Amino acid sequence: MSTVPPAPEHVALDHPEKGELTVFWTDGSARQYALADLRKACPCATCRDLRDQLSSTGGLTLLANESLDPSVEVIDMSTVGRYALQFTWKDGHNTGIYTYEFLYGEGRDLEAPS
Map residues 51-90 to x or -, x wherever contact with Zn ion holds by CB under 5 A.
----------------------------------------
Question: Is 96 an interacting residue with respect to Zn ion (CB under 5 A)?
Answer: yes
Question: Is 97 an interacting residue with respect to Zn ion (CB under 5 A)?
Answer: no
Q: Which strands sit side by side in the sheet containing 74-80, from one edge to the other?
A: 74-80, 84-89, 97-99
| Contact status, residue 22 vs residue 110, Cβ threshold 8 Å | yes
Angle between helices 60-67 and 45-56 (to 10 degrees): 130
| Shortest separation between residue 61's beta carbon and Zn ion, angstroms | 20
Question: What are the residues binding Zn ion (CB under 5 A)?
Answer: 42, 44, 47, 96
